[in-house]
Amino acid sequence: MLLIAIIIAFIMLVVASITDLHNREVPDYLSYSLIFMAFAISIISSIIEWSYIPFMTSLMGFVLSLIVAYGMFYLGQWGGGDSKLIMGLGTILGFNIFPLFGKNNFWLLILIASIVFCGAMYGLVWSIFLAIKNRKIFIKHLNLWLQKRQLTIARRIMLVILLLMMIAILTIVPNEFKILLLTFVVMLYFIFYVWLFVKVIEETCMIKEIPIGKLTEGDWILKDVYIGKKYITGPKDLGVSREQIESLKKYAAKGKIKTITIKEGIPFIPAFLIAYTLTVVMYFMGVF
């Protein structure tokens, strides 16, 4: 049953990755199907083993992944499709740290840690790809940012502070800690430019004006949209809903609105697939 669950989740992630890359959307039926099949497998396992443990493990996995999904969604890090899919993965992998429910199950925790690591690497690679693809406009906006007076002052202040920190580390800190702290200082300087890189990428490659007809559920609206004095949608909604899209389409048919500006995110489900594959490989290698 474990092998069946692993294969089902892998197939679902492959399909979801393809749709996310192609349409920037993960159909709800994929996520809901994964959750349904995960619970079905756990119930069958409980019947075969005549034990409540498989079902309870899946239930706890669902609850933990639900908490993670809602947290990441309301922090604006994941879209609705990402959040629903992690709930399906949590249900199928399960979670348990309670002796009452059998042996420990850390699958989901390892998966979440893998998603954080793989997601960061994947996001950086995707951003570099976007920068190369749109290199002319990217370089233009990067130069504009670097010429901003406030940013120039901030860079100089930060450089002075970091140099003082390095001098203090080299003269005061014991030798065994010097390399570690110097590495930390260099990383702080590097993180500043990563932030600048991501900021320019957002402005040049991720903000798009699209026709109302091409809106999909979960798209991030950049600015508040009003028709007359009536509020329709905006950034605070954490993704446009189906009802809001239908409302916008009605106004578009009346000629009151034609296009809308959205912030297009990175198709993140492939990072889930990479992290899931890494987790499975680590499991069969006996890492956990």
Q: For position 119, what pLDDT does the model report?
A: 87
CA angle 30, 59, 83 (to 5 degrees): 40
Distance CA 10, CA 210 (A): 33
What does the pLDDT look like over 232-288, one tens digit per residue? 988 887 778 888 989 999 988 888 888 898 887 788 899 999 999 999 998 888 776
Distance CA 112, CA 279 (A): 9
Domain boundaries, the chain: 2-121+268-284, 132-206, 220-263
Question: Residues of the chain whose pLDDT is less than 50?
Answer: none
Distance CA 132, CA 111 (A): 31
Q: For position 101, what pLDDT does the model report?
A: 62
Burial class of residue 192, CB neighbours in 10 A (0-12, 13-18, 19+): middle
Tokens of 56: 């309870």
CATH 3.40.640.10 fits 2-121+268-284, yes or no: no
Q: For position 271, what pLDDT does the model report?
A: 92
Q: For position 27, what pLDDT does the model report?
A: 83
Query: 242: how many CB neighbours lie within 10 A of its CB?
Result: 11
